């Protein structure tokens, strides 16, 4: 059975800290890995990764994929209170399979 | 662009009642997805359509759930009869590309509470 596991489940940090969120997967027919941010509403797209070792970057967020070890990480540097959200990892096969997410709370 | 539109945003109903959730995808998007999100199980795919045709409904929990897409700009998810365990947030998403593994654009969701 295809599965996507995220860790940690929850993370509490102070503004300015750097955090690393993890996503590991076991799926057949891997096509892509996507990261979404979900605040109190709909998930919003962050990154899509298809190749190992190529970092995607957007401002303070970056992500990389390791297709040999079957995982991805999402890094957030210099965290801000606005980064507080649930971060979802999804693996694309013949559908998107979502992990249960990491809840990040950033306090001033 | 208005994004994916869902209605209603909130629905409270009693067990046994019929519930209909509605979705308007982004114009030009060929793929439409229905998801359910709960604390216990996270975000789960229920069904998806490509060019208005249902492709994979293996995530539909049971016969009480049905979905239709009569045209490219409208889809419904119906629960009949509803049960308390159906309480969740239901998201609709659409995608312009091979949406099963590319970026999907999510609507604001419908929060369903079945008493």
pLDDT digits (tens, 9 = 90+) for B23-80: 999 999 999 999 999 988 889 999 999 999 999 999 998 899 999 999 999 999 999 9
Beta-carbon contacts of residue A70 (< 8 Å; ≥ 6 apart) = A24, A25, A26
Check CB contact under 8 Å for B42 and A93. Answer: no
pLDDT digits (tens, 9 = 90+) for A58-108: 999 999 999 999 999 999 999 999 999 999 999 999 889 999 999 999 999
On chain A, the residues whose CB falls within 8 A of the CB of B101 are 31-32, 92-96
Tell me the residues of chain A between 20 and 79 that have a Cβ less than 8 Å away from chain B.
31-32, 34, 41-45, 48
- The pLDDT, as a whole number, for residue B48 is 96
Assign B1 a pLDDT band (cuts: 50, 70, 90).
low
pLDDT of A53 strictly over 90: no
Chain centroid to Cα B42, Å, comes to 15
DSSP B50-105: ETTEEEE-TT--STTEEEEEEETTEEEEEESS--GGG-EEEEEEEESSSTTTS--E
pLDDT of B86 strictly over 80: yes
Alpha-carbon gap: A93 to the closest alpha carbon of chain B (Å) = 6
Structure tokens at A18: 């750097």
Nearest to A34 among B41, B42, B103 (CB): B103
How confident is the model over A16-27, as a mean pLDDT?
97
pLDDT of B87 strictly over 90: yes
Chain centroid to Cα B67, Å, comes to 8
Radius of gyration of chain B (CA): 13
Check CB contact under 8 Å for B100 and A93. Answer: yes
């Amino acid at each position: 059975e295809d599965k996507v596991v995220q860790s940690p489940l929850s993370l509490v940090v102070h503004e300015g800290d750097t955090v690393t969120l993890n996503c590991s997967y076991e799926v057949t027919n891997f096509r892509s890995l996507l990261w979404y941010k979900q605040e109190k509403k709909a998930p919003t797209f962050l990154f899509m990764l298809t190749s190992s070792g190529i970092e995607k970057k957007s401002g303070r967020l970056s992500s990389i994929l390791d297709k040999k070890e079957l995982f991805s990480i999402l890094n957030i540097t210099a965290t801000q209170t606005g980064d507080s959200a649930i971060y979802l990892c999804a693996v694309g096969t013949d559908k998107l399979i979502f992990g249960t997410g990491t809840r990040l709370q950033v306090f001033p | 662009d208005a994004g994916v539109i869902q209605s209603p945003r909130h629905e409270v109903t009693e067990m046994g009642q019929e519930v209909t959730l509605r979705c308007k995808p982004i114009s030009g998007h060929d793929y439409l997805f229905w998801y359910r999100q709960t604390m216990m199980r996270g975000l789960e795919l229920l069904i998806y359509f490509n060019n208005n045709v249902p492709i994979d409904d293996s995530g539909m929990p049971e016969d009480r759930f049905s979905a239709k897409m009569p045209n490219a700009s409208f889809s419904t998810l119906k629960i009949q009869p509803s049960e308390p365990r159906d309480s969740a947030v239901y998201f609709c998403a659409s995608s312009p590309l091979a949406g099963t593994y590319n970026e999907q654009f999510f609507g604001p969701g419908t929060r369903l509470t079945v008493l």
